[in-house]
Structure 1
Amino acid sequence: MIAAACPPLFRRLAGSCVALGMVLALAGCSGGDDGSFDVVFMEDEAVLTDSGVRLSPGAQHVRAATRAGLVAINAQGEVVPALADRWNVIENGSIFVFRLRDGTWPNGEELTAPSVRDALQRAIRSLRGTSLGLDLVPVDEVRAMAGRVVEVRLASPMPDLLQVLGQPELGLVHGEGETGPMVLERDGENILLTMRPPAERGLPDSEDWRDYVREVRVTGLEPAQAIERFDDGDVEVVLGGRLGSLPLADLGPLSRGTVRLDPAIGLFGLRARRERGALATPELREALAMAIDRPALASAFNVGGWVPSTRVVAPDLPADPGMVAERWQGSSVEDLRRVAAGRLAGLTGQDKRLTLAIGDAPGEQLLLRELARQFATVGITLVQARSSEGADMVLVDRVARYASPRWFLNQFNCILDDGLCSLEADRLASRALDERDSALRARLMGEAEAALTRANVYIPFGPPLRWSLVRGEVDGFAPNLWAFHPLPDMAVIPR
């Protein structure tokens, strides 16, 4: 069993247990002696350098390494300085004031408040129509002030603004060239990332700085190939492990590495796409949710420490008012399935057949088989959809960007047109944005979650599973809530 060494991290947002995962064996030798550091992402290499705003996890890591925002996210998942070296919050949280570091843009122009303001406005505009764009709705104005100061003014409270501004998609550009701590070049088929001089990273200069950084070679491979290269000692870190690739971790001896599980929060469950058959009404969709034995899902993957949930919003978030509890507490799976079967009994023929858009990776197919077995107990046939376009349901497997109910609710906003939704939930969440009183705002968010729960457009399982392979001698890696592991942190050699 891959057992969580600190299971409470799945249950509450506290602590800093670094090795949340079972150590499979002791660390071995490094993957090379040429001073480079090799990282493999378990995804298609072609998407790692995408230039758009809908980035894969690997592309987010590369973007964060090569393009800086006002702030950044470090290895522990905390907000740290980037283009802004300090900031403060005034006017009861309605104004965030950022003081820019000394320096220039890559094209040689001075890093000024007006140029940063314009770059941030462009980045925000580019995200319109995405869930991250919805997260930024409270941003009312970006102002350039005297003395290299930029102000972000909010129309409504946004306690998580810094976390959002630290996302890779909010990296800023001005003219040609990138602004991040690392420079991207091509090394044959690989991506080669090299650290910029300290002064270009907003740090004090040092003559021997090159002795304390290393190049990072990045590539993308199929999970089985990535694991094989790690097992052979060719790479130090493999990132991007998900549910689909988790069973592969047991295929090889992995004799010189460790599996690290992130205590991630986010969405892991089924999203209804169409109102038909067993998905025609909220009551029928609830029956499907009642048929799920969530602990059995974890057992199928032999994962310890994973805590299932029936809530749309992750439990125990800092702003959670405690209004929405876990569903069906005190009822056995057998009792719930009897009720569910009764509701679904009137369906016949094709109405009892559902298609699910899900990948072909081993873990995804294992999940499909387990879900099909469980749905069969209430008379529903579940099969894999040939395409996501015509599927009745889709698997949602997404890590949160910040720890607020608002992120979860935004993923189901009707504006995104990404499946069934709740206009009532959207209305309540919108009202919450305009509310200055924190207690009332939290209550409205709780009411929005309750409305989305009643609509039964999403069947939650629990938090998403994210894992990595990391050699024991690697510094700069830490499991965190966002399953985000900055490459510059791993490129630094401790003094």
Structure 2
Amino acid sequence: MLALAVATAGCERRPDVGAVIVSANGAEPELSLAPIVDNDMARRLLTDSVAQGLVRFDAAGQIVPGVAARWIVTDEGRTYIFRLRDTPWADGRPMRAAEVVAILRRRLQQRARNPLSPYLTALESIVEMTPEVIQIELSRPRPDLLKLFAQPDMAIVHPRRSIGSGPMRIVGKSGQITRLRPIPDPDRAADEQEEPQPEDDVLLIAERPAAGIARFSARRSDLFTGGTIAEWPLVAAAGIENADVRLDPAAGLFGLAVSRPEGFLAAAENRAAIALAIDRGALVQAFAPGWQATEDLLPAALDSASPPAKAPWQAVAAQDRQATARARVAAWREAGNDTPTIRIALPAGAGGTLLWARIAADLYAVGIRPVRVAPDDEADLRLIDAVAPFDSGRWYLGHACQTCSEAATQAIEAARLAPSLAERARAIAAADRLLADDVAFVPIARPLRWSLVAPRLRTWQPNERAWHPLNGVRRDPN
């Protein structure tokens, strides 16, 4: 029946009747405690829909209640106290603080299986205060912890029954298609609840991005979400209307990390030649006019004691940059070295090819011979394309520092271990300055994240998290 509903959705853009049909990259999604692969957007959406965490993100990317109704943060972010909502599990049993505590402890113990573990090392204890209250103690201040707890990786999933507490529940499943329906709001009385309408259901389809884009183009879905640079050229090829293409102002990293500082890349001034050679404006325009280029590693001061550090190469005027890079390469060759050959690991697909064409042309223009390699192959430069799960300079610095200097590595570790927010801020600022001076990372732009959105999804909103919960795509659940 689910497959039939999708197949008969019609060839014209559907009016606001019937279930919302959403497709996202992924294999058949399942709810479990296993780690969620970053590019399996379908599974992330399913987990977020049926197994919320203590808190969650709304359609605007803001923190809202999840399992917890409210919370208090004290002692500069060293103590978090959560009061749980009167929330039942999907099977109707009441959820108790002791169960939530046990699940969270298990999440933290399985550090190798949780991608957020490197940013949760300050968690010292999770205890049940009452059947409705949980207290989390940290050894070091982390005022940004709520955004980590809102990630699907920290969802409250029952370990034996593989169920959550909403805000939606599974009411049907057929292969890679899952039907979801909103559950009653536990904060509202029964006589205040609205009866779910067919339009409130969501059909989540896990499929390859190319299939999802084709489905939307054929007007057989209302939303394709989780698009990246790899699939972007397919949008134009499918003839998608411009009004249906929405870009997120995603916060994160998109640039080239130095993974092997050897040969030509052993010297900071030569790494700077790479940064100078890339024409960021032309590159982003080749993809999408709304895509934002950047030259800074940090998007803002965030929790650093200083504004984003400026690398020395940024002082070179735009019109002089390629000439400066060309002169640096010429000096390398005049010293008796061969033409520099740089292996660059880029994503596969049409988007990776277009990105390669732009970067390769710029590097050839200054005398560098680039070689494209696969994302997992040995490389000199590697594309980092990731949305930040929370707003801390430490996340940016840790991801950008693939092979940065020992001083920068020590500064990043000092930020992790800092006993106060002031010391943490100073360590982050120091690490940012060291990475900028060392040119350990070449920023290019913000991450390119986009969705295809039908007009019936009136509450869809772009946001810095590039995250769009399924219970909020058609109307505001609040």
Tell me if both proteins adopt one fold, taking TM over 0.5 as the criterion: yes
Tell me the equivalent position of 1:461.
444
Tell me the equivalent position of 1:230.
216
Q: Distance in 1 between matches of 2:348 and 2:300?
A: 30
Question: What is the letter of the counterpart of residue 161 of structure 2?
Answer: E
Q: Distance in 2 between matches of 1:435 and 1:277?
A: 36
Question: What is the letter of the counterpart of residue 325 of structure 2?
Answer: R
Note the residue ranges of structure 2 that are not aligned, 5 or more in a row.
1-11
State the 1:380 CA deviation.
Answer: 1.5
Tell me the equivalent position of 2:7.
none
Q: Distance in 2 between matches of 1:115 and 1:441?
A: 33
Equivalent of 1:322 in 307, 311, 323: 307
CA offsets, 1:194-242, max 9 Å, x none? 225315x554435642238622112234444323321222111111221
Equivalent of 2:248 in 242, 245, 262: 262
CA distance 1:307–1:255, shift in 2 (3 Å): closer
DSSP-derived class of the 1:368 partner: helix
Tell me the equivalent position of 2:461.
478
The question of whether the paired residues in 1 share the 8 Å contact of 2:176 and 2:205 is answered with yes
Q: Distance in 2 between matches of 1:457 and 1:48?
A: 39
The question of whether the paired residues in 2 share the 8 Å contact of 1:72 and 1:167 is answered with yes
Tell me the equivalent position of 1:111.
95
CA distance 1:190–1:58, shift in 2 (3 Å): closer
The question of whether the paired residues in 2 share the 8 Å contact of 1:65 and 1:486 is answered with yes
CA distance 1:213–1:69, shift in 2 (3 Å): farther
State the 1:382 CA deviation.
Answer: 1.2
Equivalent of 2:65 in 81, 84, 94: 81
Which 10-residue stretch deviates more, 307-316 or 441-450? 307-316
Q: Distance in 1 between matches of 2:26 and 2:83?
A: 38
Q: Distance in 1 between matches of 2:405 and 2:51?
A: 36
Q: Distance in 2 between matches of 1:347 and 1:489?
A: 61
| Residue identity (%) | 28
CA offsets, 1:244-298, max 9 Å, x none? 2222222244359511110111110112222333333434323222222211211
CA offsets, 1:32-74, max 9 Å, x none? 85x2110111x34346768424332333222211222111111
DSSP-derived class of the 1:274 partner: coil
Question: What is the letter of the counterpart of residue 336 of structure 1?
Answer: T
Aligned residues: 458
Tell me the equivalent position of 2:435.
452
Question: What is the letter of the counterpart of residue 227 of structure 2?
Answer: G
Tell me the equivalent position of 2:107.
123
Question: What is the letter of the counterpart of residue 122 of structure 1?
Answer: R
DSSP-derived class of the 1:442 partner: helix
Equivalent of 2:373 in 355, 370, 385: 385
CA distance 1:110–1:220, shift in 2 (3 Å): closer
CA distance 1:475–1:48, shift in 2 (3 Å): farther
CA distance 1:160–1:121, shift in 2 (3 Å): same
State the 1:165 CA deviation.
Answer: 0.6
Q: Distance in 2 between matches of 1:157 and 1:380?
A: 45
State the 1:95 CA deviation.
Answer: 0.8
State the 1:441 CA deviation.
Answer: 2.8
Question: What is the letter of the counterpart of residue 312 of structure 1?
Answer: L
State the 1:316 CA deviation.
Answer: 4.9
CA distance 1:391–1:202, shift in 2 (3 Å): farther
Tell me the equivalent position of 2:356.
368
Query: Are 1:352 and 2:336 matched, yes or no?
Result: no
CA distance 1:459–1:102, shift in 2 (3 Å): same
Query: Are 1:284 and 2:258 matched, yes or no?
Result: no
DSSP-derived class of the 1:121 partner: helix
Q: Distance in 2 between matches of 1:347 and 1:218?
A: 59
The question of whether the paired residues in 1 share the 8 Å contact of 2:19 and 2:203 is answered with yes
Query: Are 1:37 and 2:20 matched, yes or no?
Result: yes
State the 1:359 CA deviation.
Answer: 2.6
Equivalent of 1:91 in 57, 75, 94: 75
Q: Distance in 2 between matches of 1:208 and 1:129?
A: 39
Tell me the equivalent position of 2:137.
153
DSSP-derived class of the 2:472 partner: helix
Equivalent of 2:175 in 189, 192, 215: 189
CA distance 1:255–1:373, shift in 2 (3 Å): closer
Q: Distance in 2 between matches of 1:307 and 1:243?
A: 13
Tell me the equivalent position of 2:228.
242
Note the aligned Cα RMSD (angstroms): 2.9
Tell me the equivalent position of 1:308.
293
CA distance 1:450–1:257, shift in 2 (3 Å): same
Q: Distance in 2 between matches of 1:215 and 1:347?
A: 67
Q: Distance in 1 between matches of 2:242 and 2:292?
A: 29
State the 1:87 CA deviation.
Answer: 0.6
CA offsets, 1:81-103, max 9 Å, x none? 11111111123332111001123
The question of whether the paired residues in 1 share the 8 Å contact of 2:259 and 2:379 is answered with yes
The question of whether the paired residues in 1 share the 8 Å contact of 2:305 and 2:422 is answered with no
Tell me the equivalent position of 1:443.
426
The question of whether the paired residues in 2 share the 8 Å contact of 1:135 and 1:410 is answered with no
The question of whether the paired residues in 2 share the 8 Å contact of 1:31 and 1:235 is answered with no
State the 1:335 CA deviation.
Answer: 3.9
Tell me the equivalent position of 2:4.
none
DSSP-derived class of the 2:357 partner: helix
Q: Distance in 2 between matches of 1:377 and 1:142?
A: 56
CA distance 1:420–1:426, shift in 2 (3 Å): closer
Question: What is the letter of the counterpart of residue 307 of structure 2?
Answer: G
Tell me the equivalent position of 1:15.
none
Tell me the equivalent position of 1:408.
396
The question of whether the paired residues in 2 share the 8 Å contact of 1:29 and 1:233 is answered with yes
Tell me the equivalent position of 2:84.
100
CA offsets, 1:437-468, max 9 Å, x none? 54443222111112223333322102111111
TM-score (ref. length: structure 1): 0.84
Q: Distance in 2 between matches of 1:304 and 1:464?
A: 14
DSSP-derived class of the 1:45 partner: coil
Tell me the equivalent position of 1:23.
none
Note the residue ranges of structure 1 that are not aligned, 5 or more in a row.
1-27, 414-418
The question of whether the paired residues in 2 share the 8 Å contact of 1:85 and 1:99 is answered with yes
Query: Are 1:295 and 2:281 matched, yes or no?
Result: yes
Question: What is the letter of the counterpart of residue 182 of structure 1?
Answer: M
Question: What is the letter of the counterpart of residue 427 of structure 1?
Answer: Q
State the 1:108 CA deviation.
Answer: 5.9
